[in-house]
């Protein structure tokens, strides 16, 4: 029988179904060291998520590991190089979440520009009868910069066309055949943009890509929308730029040290704070689960995964 090491809980439905079909070791419910000492040799497959990842040191403790099957598209928390070195297959769940993550990014953009969350807090606090809010920023017709025009970035760009926005983007290289303008220099893209949306991967190659120079170029009227990873932004620089008014606003779904949100951000009215919910709809989570199952079953049948990282 295949032995699966599950690193953390996914949906209740998935946890139950996996345990019904396979011998499952639940690492998060156990003394992890003791479990790995006792059962590490017998583990064939790791089931994990973008959140729980899979480190090189864990891979080292699983000498017979053959596959890492992950829930989520981002794999910055999985040591893919360590897996590759041992020819361990790694899968993620791309594409099925594009629309919902892009919906959220666009919702965050509108919220930040039009102060929707702020206005909601204003009404709930009973402040409407005695005061008003400052005027907001228009969304339609503005300039949208996208950092990472991939699957999710394209879905964000598609939404922008309905708002008559101009779109430019920055990737490491231009997307062949793209109708959107490419900007090799990220600071230049930020200078041009009213809104800068981040949809690139996390990990070392993008760490602190959004630094003070980029934030200052985006400027006191510019807004940053991050649905990528907290690691992509120099978070202390972001906090400082917002406190100093060097950046106009920010809408964040991801943070450097989740679930920690810097205290300074909590007090700022021009910041929208979400708890990493990009793909968190019933429909998308079900589709992600189904793709995870398809990867697992295909690996068990044929020794390969459908959506390899
Ligand atoms: P894709 O791989 O399709 O797109 C990523 C894009 O980023 C590519 O266009 C790539 O272009 C660009 N990119 C990669 N590295 C760099 C770099 N160093 N500098 C600039 N651009 C770069 O990924 P997806 O669209 O499927 O997903 C993107 C990310 O969104 C995920 O990795 C994940 O971190 C995040 N995400 C967040 C969610 C949330 O809940 N908030 C949910 C789902 C995903 P090129 O290679 O040419 O540079």
Residue ranges per structural domain of the chain: 3-95+282-302, 98-273
Mutating to test ligand 1, I would choose from 71, 201, 208 the residue with most ligand atoms within 8 A of its C-beta, which is 201
What average pLDDT does the chain have? 97
For residue 158, what pLDDT band results from cuts at 50, 70 and 90?
A: very high
275: helix, strand or coil: coil
| Active site members | 229, 258, 276
Q: Is the pLDDT of residue 175 over 90?
A: yes
- Ligand 1, atom 39: nearest CA belongs to which residue? 278
Distance separating alpha carbons of residues 171 and 174, to the nearest angstrom = 6
Distance of CA 152 to the CA centre of its chain: 10
Q: What percent of the chain has pLDDT over 70?
A: 100
Class of domain 3-95+282-302: alpha beta
Q: What tens digit of pLDDT does each residue of 98-107 get?
A: 999 999 999 9
Q: Which atom of ligand 1 is nearest to the CA of 172?
A: 48
Confidence of residue 244 (pLDDT cuts 50, 70, 90): very high
Q: Which CATH superfamily is domain 98-273 in?
A: NAD(P)-binding Rossmann-like Domain (3.40.50.720)
Two domains, one topology: 3-95+282-302 and 98-273: yes
ipTM of the complex: 0.99
Q: Over 90: is that where the pLDDT of 1 sits? A: no
pLDDT in tens, 85-102: 999 999 999 999 999 999
78 exposed, middle or buried (CB, 10 Å; 0-12, 13-18, 19+)?
buried
pLDDT at 146 over 90: yes
Pocket test for ligand 1, best of 156, 171, 174 (most atoms within 8 A of CB): 171
Residue 187 predicted with pLDDT over 90: yes
Q: Are 71 and 50 in contact (CB under 8 A)?
A: yes
Query: And the tokens for 192?
Result: 């041009």
CA distances from 228 to 18, 37, 76, 201 (A): 29, 35, 11, 6
Task: Please determine, for residue 213, whether its predicted confidence score (pLDDT) is greater than 90.
Answer: yes
- Give the confidence band of 66 by pLDDT, cuts at 50, 70, 90: very high
* Average pLDDT, integer, range 170-183: 98
């Amino acid at each position: 029988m295949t032995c699966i090491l599950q690193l953390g809980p996914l949906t209740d439905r998935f946890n139950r179904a996996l345990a019904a079909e396979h011998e499952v070791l639940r690492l998060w419910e156990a003394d992890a060291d003791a479990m790995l000492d006792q059962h590490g040799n017998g583990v064939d497959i790791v089931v994990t998520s973008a959140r729980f990842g899979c480190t090189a040191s864990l891979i080292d403790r699983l000498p017979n590991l053959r596959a890492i099957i992950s829930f989520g598209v981002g794999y910055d928390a999985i040591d893919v190089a360590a897996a590759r070195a041992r020819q361990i297959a790694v899968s993620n769940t791309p594409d099925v979440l594009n629309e919902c993550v892009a919906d959220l990014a666009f919702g965050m953009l509108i919220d930040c520009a039009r102060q929707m969350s702020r206005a909601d807090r204003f009404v709930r606090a009973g402040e409407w009868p005695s005061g008003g809010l400052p005027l907001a920023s228009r969304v339609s017709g503005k300039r949208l910069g996208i950092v990472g025009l991939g699957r999710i970035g394209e879905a964000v760009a598609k939404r922008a066309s309905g708002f008559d926005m101009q779109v430019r983007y920055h990737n490491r290289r231009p997307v062949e055949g793209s109708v959107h303008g490419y900007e090799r220099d990220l600071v230049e893209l930020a200078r041009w943009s009213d809104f800068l949306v981040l949809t690139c991967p996390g990990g070392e190659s993008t760490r602190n890509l959004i630094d003070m120079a980029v934030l200052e170029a985006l400027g006191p009227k510019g807004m940053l929308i991050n649905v990528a990873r907290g690691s992509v932004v120099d978070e202390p620089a972001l906090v400082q730029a917002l406190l100093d008014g060097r950046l106009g606003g920010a809408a964040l779904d991801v943070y450097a040290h989740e679930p920690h949100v810097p205290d300074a951000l909590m007090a700022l009215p021009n910041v929208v704070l979400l708890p990493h919910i990009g793909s968190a709809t019933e429909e998308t989570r079900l589709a992600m689960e189904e793709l995870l199952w398809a990867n697992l079953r295909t690996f068990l049948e044929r020794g390969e995964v459908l959506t390899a990282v």
